[in-house]
Amino acid sequence: MSPVRRFIVVVLFEGVDLLDVTGPPEVFSLLQREMGRETGRERGDDATGYRVVLAARTMDPVTTAAGVRILPDVTFEEVAGSSIDTLLVPGAVTCDSRGRVRAVTDPEVVGWVKTLAGTTRRVASVCVGAHILAEAGLLDGRRATTHWSTARQLAAEHPAIEVDADPIFIRDGHVWTGAGISACLDLSLALVADDFGEALALRVARQLVMYLKRPSGQSQFSVPLEPLSTTRRMDELRHYVTRNLAEPLTVADLAAEVHVSERQLTRIFKTELGMTPAAYIEAARVEVARNQLESTDATLERIASTCGFNTTDTLIRAFRRTLDTTPTAYRNRFRSSVPGGG
């Protein structure tokens, strides 16, 4: 493999999420180390890997959301017109008194991102940085993801974008979008794999103590970590689903549990969770099945039964539909040792 030096610009601005900025350069730095071992060059040799710079409006220190101050390497004006390989755009959020999260964008930063993207081979957003790409018009007509907490905001404010809040990252042409927050590592590893191959990406993943590089289809959605419901009734329904996953759990069953009509139940789920009752039940079952595949040696037949799928075929179809993989492939990728059965 011929060594290639690629120029990466990370956008920096006040209030940016710290890990969004520091995570990807750490991945690229470890790539440099691994390529050095492969070629016999010392780490830092300009002939390998990436050259990463942090760009901001001015050279003044930038205070991140974590309170940590970061010094830019260059200004936006200095890199404007440069041949940029990858423009990485992190994000920032604000929370109101009720704990509701909203992505925030600075018009000046949006303007610079739009300008820099014009001379960039590849553009990638980290977490809620997708909102900046959206404001710059770079996601119109594309499929994109972002952190689950701001996905509805992105879809509402930018109807021309096909927002998919489930995958940890999405590639649509030369534009990549990543979920939050630690998914920045998965996105960065995917960029490494795209540039230098899977073998190097997996070696970097081992250095990061990530068991294996997660596929783009891996879901960021986790039922227990879902946003808190707005009503006690929905909390009761979710707990009821969790306690009775092995049962048929029809819409009629759930409606009877909280004494509402099936139509009203569907409306409640759509309003509060953004999905149908059937979709939520399947997601809950897949979540429990994922945990069992990762942590037990249970057979697929056993997992299908305890999670309410009844048959392995139903389990497999649910995994393909929600995670774009099979239960066996998922177990092989995320289990720390080969299970004895299933």
Is pTM, for the whole model, over 0.85?
A: no
pLDDT in tens, the chain (342 residues): 445 589 999 999 999 999 999 999 999 999 988 887 765 555 444 456 899 999 999 999 999 999 999 999 999 999 998 999 999 999 999 987 777 889 999 999 999 999 999 999 999 999 999 999 999 999 999 999 999 889 999 999 999 999 988 788 899 999 999 987 778 888 998 899 899 988 888 788 878 866 444 554 555 545 544 544 457 788 888 889 988 999 999 999 999 998 999 999 999 998 888 789 999 999 899 988 988 887 888 999 999 999 999 999 999 999 988 877 899 988 876 664 443 433
Q: Which domains does the chain have, with CATH numbers?
A: 6-207 (3.40.50.880), 223-334 (1.10.10.60)
pLDDT at 39: 58
| Per-residue tokens: 22 | 């520091």
Q: How far does the chain reach from its first CA to its final CA, in angstroms? A: 39
pLDDT at 211: 43
Q: β-pairing, 120-125 with 101-103?
A: unpaired
| Contact predicate 254/265, CB 8 Å | yes
| Positive/negative CA dihedral, 64, 68, 72, 73 | negative
